[in-house]
Chain A
Amino acid sequence: MKKTNMLIAAGIITALSLYFFSCTSNSELGSDSDAASKVYVAPGTHDEFYGLFSGGFNGQMSVYGLPSGRLLKIIPVFAQHAENGWGYSEESKPMLETSYGFIPWDDAHHPQLSMTGSNPDGKWVFINGNNTPRIARIDLSSFKTSEIIEIPNSSGNHSSPFCTENTEYVIAGTRFSVPVPNKDVSIATYKENFKGNLTFVKVDKETGRMSLEFQVRMPGFNYDLSRAGKAVSKDWVFFSCYNSEQANTLLEVNASQNDKDFVAAVNWRLAEKYLAEGKAKDEPGTYRHNIWNDDTHSATSTEMNGVKVLYPDECPGLVYLLPTPKSPHGCDVDPSGEYIAASGKLAALIPVFSFSKMMKAIEDKKFDSEIDGIPVLNYDAVIAGEVKEPGLGPLHTEFDDKGYGYTSMFLSSEIVKWKVGTWEVVDRIPTYYSIGHLMVPGGDAAKPFGKYVVALNKITKDRYLPTGPEMSHSAQLYDISGEKMKLLLDFPTTGEPHYAQAIPAELVKPNSKKIYRLEDNKHPHATFSEKEARVVREGNIVRVYMTSIRSHFMPDMIEGIKVGDIVYWHVTNLEQDWDIPHGFAVMGAHNSELLIMPGETQTIVWKPERVGVFPFYCTDFCSALHQEMQGYVRVSPANSNTEITFNSGK
């Protein structure tokens, strides 16, 4: 009898667990029954948004169409890109110059669209290089990196490159504090010698040209993320800081001891005033400023020296510290500019500061203490509210157009939706898995576009067909137009996107270039017609002035090159038709191919090492006779008398 009971009980348990399993597997997905139709972009039609995703450890930026999640382009930024010659061509090599020399890689974290009135204007997108501190500006008419500026006296350019209301500045806080100027000291002298710099890079309104305007010398914390204020708070920039313990080893533990770290509020308008008053000190700092020129199709790299530094203790009112629970990551300003949500990675709540209360507290001098001359405001005097029990590991918050905040929860792997003002959690949805940043189109703007939230996940595991231990990252797209968030789409992403931004296609699409005009080509080694195509020897340097047009190179038969020569292939694409690039590759080249857009001139260097005849060919399937687009170059021994000969235009 007892046995039967137990069997029945076991049966019931099995049945129940099966039932619950099937339940969870349906509801776990949180998926919308008509999700497919919401992300379906019919063949030949365009996505609603351009999504600009950082490439993380691939050093690039990638462009995805949203809501389809289709990869549209990888824009080479900080890393060499053999597929189009970026960082290998003579023209693009200067873009990767730094004060450390040529650095062919970086870790790119945060795309930031240029803003007008705290809303994206579609002109440029900035991105930070974290490892060798740099900021790049990408032109959204060509989707090409136009400029890279190095940040001196900084290390781990992480709270970067967030921009102010009208892109007056892009800001770059250091993640790692370092000795400034860097010198040979014991790491144990951290507290005494290590400082954190917040760098303000000015951006020209018309050209986008960046210049290093000033730095604010801060205590040796880690400056993690940042946002500029808007509307009421537009004169301020907010930085999250962790490691207020100023630990120099095993930060995992040692930087997690203080109950509160900080959000630093910096008044950049006041900084400008102090700068104008001559309060800044001139200090050493060597950095590179690299500029791409669309007319010469070439980059220049200029060595720059010296920075202007403002010290908070000499500039009253410049910086205040807002106590923030436990190692904050995100530090995000709501669309009104009044609220600043700081997500403490180890905190059990999300504190939201009030800008007006902060101003009142400053006026009333509600200071708890002072660090290096910087007043620490009283927590209760500046807090607007706390989002209670949001989940575990809040990282980053963006806002929609309906008054809600969306916070990513790394540890509990979910997105939490909460109401601005009441601070109550109204919805939550799982992500797959371990979400880092999230992104709402315009989620950092004064007028968010809303509609979707994208989860940028850190762990992929079983989401796609397995591809061995190394897999692509995983992003999820959720519909946020209704009360409940709904999962619409999983899509794999290249590199390791940390953060992304999205902009309505209409703000970018109409300005997209189709070709480069040949008549604007000012490249010193351009060749404008096949009649001008030629080969010129200058000592052991040989310059090939080559043209490419469907479907041949001119010249395509070259003799008189010798072992030990340095051959510059200056290839001009004479096409002026949309989407007719030509490639160029020569056997035995130690660098890469070239991919030359219509109207462009690009150069690759080739150092022939062996005697013989070597083919070169077009690598981009350009036409029906692409396979015929080839040529030969003859290499003679170093001491031979073979004269330079070549064929030329009819």
Chain B
Amino acid sequence: MKKINYILLFAAIMPISLFFKPLWLIDFGAPQFPEGLQMRIFIDKVTGDDNYQLKSINLLNHYIGMKNIEPDSIAELKYMPGINIFMIITGFILAFVGNKKLFVTWVIVFSLLGLIGMYDFYAWQTDYATDLDPNAIIKTTGVSYQPPLIGSKTILNFEVTSMPGIGGYFLFVGLTSAWVKIMYDYIKNRRKS
């Protein structure tokens, strides 16, 4: 009987969390929002930490002429769940029947998808931050409205923090474990030979 690839199984289980937990979070801190204001990016939707916070964020953004964030118009939210399901299922299958080569391929493909996702997120951020209504209520010079890809930044009166959500962390931990395993095997093999 073939040995089960537990690391791959682990890496394929972790992204299941993405169906329940956000991939990415952007926190907006300001004195008049003691209760917090948070945008939660899931693989299939964008919400606030209650049903209304996205609306509040859009209302604030309209002062600087930023476009409304309309989850329905973001195509990525439609095909990301499918990609995730595909990767999870193939991961499961390969964990039981695959060989090492396929394992490495799976990890590389998923990692590349992650990097493309990050780039795409950055592109969206840039689009929102720069494509502003010329009739905006507040016009500033020298202020970039682009939130950080990861980390904190002060934008006007808001302290904006961008960081992975629980789903994002889980995905990262799964893939990182797989990479550690690959590196470990690679180094071990080199020593043997």
Q: Which residues does A use to contact B, with CB under 8 Å?
A: 515, 517, 549-550, 575-578, 624-625
Q: Are A577 and B63 in contact (CB under 8 A)?
A: no
Question: What 1/0 flags go to B52-80 for Cβ under 8 Å of A?
Answer: 11011001000100000000000000000
A577 touches B137 (CB 8 A): no
A576–B53 alpha-carbon span in the complex (Å): 8
Contact with A625, one of B35, B55, B56, B137 (Cβ below 8 angstroms): B137
Q: Cβ of B137 and Cβ of A576 under 8 Å apart? A: no
Is A550 touching B35 in the complex (CB atoms < 8 A)? no
Please indicate the chain A residues that have their CB under 8 angstroms from the CB of B137 in the complex.
625
Partner of A578 from the list B35, B51, B59 (CB cut-off 8 Å) is B35
CA gap between A517 and B50 in the complex, in Å: 12
Q: How far is the CA of A624 from the CA of B51 in the complex (A)?
A: 24
Q: Which residues of A contact B52 (CB under 8 A)?
A: 515, 576-577
Q: Are A549 and B59 in contact (CB under 8 A)?
A: yes
A576 in contact with B63 (CB, 8 Å): no
Q: Once the chains are docked, how many angstroms separate the CA of A575 from the CA of B55?
A: 8
18 residue pairs A–B, Cβ–Cβ below 8 Å: A515-B52, A517-B51, A549-B59, A550-B59, A575-B59, A576-B51, A576-B52, A576-B55, A576-B56, A577-B52, A577-B53, A577-B55, A577-B56, A577-B59, A578-B35, A624-B63, A625-B63, A625-B137
Query: Which residues from B are CB-within-8-Å of A578?
Result: 35
Q: A575-B59, A578-B35 are in contact. List 13 more A-B contacts (CB 8 A).
A: A515-B52, A517-B51, A549-B59, A550-B59, A576-B51, A576-B52, A576-B55, A576-B56, A577-B52, A577-B53, A577-B55, A577-B59, A624-B63
- Nearest residue, chain A, Cβ from B32: A579
The distance in angstroms between the C-alpha atoms of A550 and B32, with both chains bound, is 15
Q: How far is the CB of A579 from chain B (nearest CB, A)?
A: 9
Q: Which A residues are in CB contact (< 8 Å) with B53?
A: 577
Distance (whole angstroms) from the CB of A123 to the closest CB of chain B: 24
Cα-based distance from A232 to B51 in the complex (angstroms): 49
* Chain A residues with CB under 8 A of B56: 576-577
Smallest CB separation, B176 vs chain A (Å): 38
Interface size on B, residues (CB 8 A): 9
Residue on A nearest B55 in the bound complex, by CB: A576
Cα-based distance from A217 to B20 in the complex (angstroms): 63
Shortest CB distance B157–A (Å): 10
Q: Cβ of A577: which chain B residues have Cβ within 8 Å of it? A: 52-53, 55-56, 59
Residues of B within 8 A of A575 (CB): 59
Q: Which 6 pairs across A and B sit closest by C-beta, in order of nearness?
A: A576-B52, A577-B56, A576-B55, A550-B59, A577-B52, A625-B137
CB of B72 to closest CB in A, whole Å: 15
CA of A190 to CA of B147, assembled, Å: 81
Chain A hits for B59, CB < 8 A: 549-550, 575, 577
Chain A's closest residue to B35 (CB) is A578
Cα–Cα distance between A550 and B59 once the two chains are bound (Å): 7
In the bound complex, CA of A549 to CA of B52 (Å): 14
A500 to B85 CA separation, bound complex (whole angstroms):
60
The distance from the CB of B172 to the nearest CB of chain A, in whole angstroms, is: 33
Bound-state Cα–Cα, A625 to B64, Å: 13
Contacts of B51 in A (CB 8 A): 517, 576
| Complex Cα spacing A416 to B173, Å | 68
**Residue numbers in A under 8 Å from B63 (CB-CB):** 624-625
In the assembly, what is the distance between CA of A526 and CA of B124, in Å? 35
Those of B5-52 within 8 Å (CB) of chain A = 35, 51-52
Output the least CB separation between B160 and chain A (Å). 18
Kindly list chain A residues whose C-beta atoms are within 8 Å of the C-beta of B35.
578
Nearest residue in A to B56 (C-beta to C-beta)?
A: A577
CA distance A282 to B163 in the complex (A): 70
Nearest chain B residue, comparing its CB with the CB of A598: B52
Most chain B CB inside 10 Å of its own CB: which residue of A517, A549, A577, A625: A577
Closest chain A CB from B118 CB (angstroms): 30
Residues of B within 8 A of A624 (CB): 63
A171 CB to nearest chain B CB (Å): 41
List A contacts of B55 (CB < 8 A). 576-577
**Set of chain B residues within 8 Å of A549, measured between Cβ atoms:** 59
Cα(A627)–Cα(B87), bound, Å: 54
Contacts of A550 in B (CB 8 A): 59
Output the least CB separation between B71 and chain A (Å). 16
Which residue of chain B lies nearest to A519 when distances are taken between CB atoms in the complex? B51
A577 CA to B34 CA in the complex, in Å? 12
Residue of B nearest to A625 (CB): B137
Instruction: Looking at the assembled complex, report how far the CB atom of A382 sits from the nearest CB atom of chain B, in whole angstroms.
Output: 56
Residues of B within 8 A of A517 (CB): 51
CB distance from A44 to the nearest CB of B (A): 8
A265 to B63, CA, bound (A): 66
B57: nearest residue on chain A (CB-CB)? Answer: A577
With A and B bound together, what is the CA distance between A515 and B63 in angstroms?
Answer: 22
Q: Which residues of the partner chain B approach A576 to less than 8 Å between Cβ atoms?
A: 51-52, 55-56
Pick from B35, B52, B55 the residue with the most CB of A within 10 Å: B52
Give complex CA distance A59, B63 in Å: 42
Q: How far is the CA of A175 from the CA of B56 in the complex (A)?
A: 52
The residue of chain A having its C-beta at the shortest distance from the C-beta of B63 within the complex is A624
CB distance from B171 to the nearest CB of A (A): 31
